């Protein structure tokens, strides 16, 4: 809890119980939840929390580079507390999202810069397909 509030302070963000709860929830999951899922998991413990607060807080976190916002092939954004670059494997059958560290990416960025002088600030890489669990069914 202490660490989480320090992280918020280090980004010059006001520390509130609800903000801590939302950030902590994201830190403790690797399921890349939507705002609705975060809200549904937390509302029981924070009865005064509204879905609007969750949306607003996620936008503030995203703008502070505390979290990543993922735009997948569905209607809602998904959120990830891991901000260092990694790619996402998205199952088109069960909508699960898995992290994957693709080691070639730093080389690709360097290659692009060397050839075009284009500096990449932001990358999102998605691979769509069928996950192991869905193949079993």
Vertex 27: Cα angle to 26 and 28 (nearest 5): 90
Query: Contact at 8 Å (CB) between 124 and 70?
Result: yes
- Look at the block and give the residue holding tokens 């549904």: 40
Select the residue interacting with Zn ion from 20, 64, 91, 105 (CB under 5 A): 91
**Which of 97, 101, 55 has the alpha carbon at shortest distance from 73?**
97
Is residue 125 at the binding interface for Zn ion, with CB under 5 A as the rule? no
Cα–Cα dist 26/16, whole Å: 16
* C-beta closer to Zn ion: residue 17 or 31: 31
Q: Near Zn ion by CB under 5 A, which window of 7-15, 16-24, 40-48, 97-105?
A: 97-105
Select the residue interacting with Zn ion from 15, 94, 108, 120 (CB under 5 A): 94
Is residue 36 at the binding interface for Zn ion, with CB under 5 A as the rule? no
What is the contact surface with Zn ion in residues (CB under 5 A)? 80, 91, 93-94, 96, 99, 131, 134
């Amino acid at each position: 809890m202490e660490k989480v509030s320090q992280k918020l302070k280090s980004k010059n963000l006001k520390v509130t119980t609800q903000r801590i709860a939302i950030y902590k929830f994201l830190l403790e999951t690797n399921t890349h939840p939507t705002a609705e899922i975060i809200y549904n998991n937390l509302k029981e413990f924070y009865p005064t929390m509204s879905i609007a607060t969750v949306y607003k807080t996620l936008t503030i976190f995203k703008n502070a580079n505390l979290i990543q916002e993922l735009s997948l092939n569905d209607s809602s954004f998904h959120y990830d507390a891991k901000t260092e670059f990694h790619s996402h494997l998205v199952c088109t059958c069960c909508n699960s999202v898995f992290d994957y560290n693709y080691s070639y990416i730093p080389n690709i960025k360097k290659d692009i810069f060397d050839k075009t002088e284009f500096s990449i600030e932001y990358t999102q890489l998605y691979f769509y397909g069928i996950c192991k669990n869905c193949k079993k069914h």
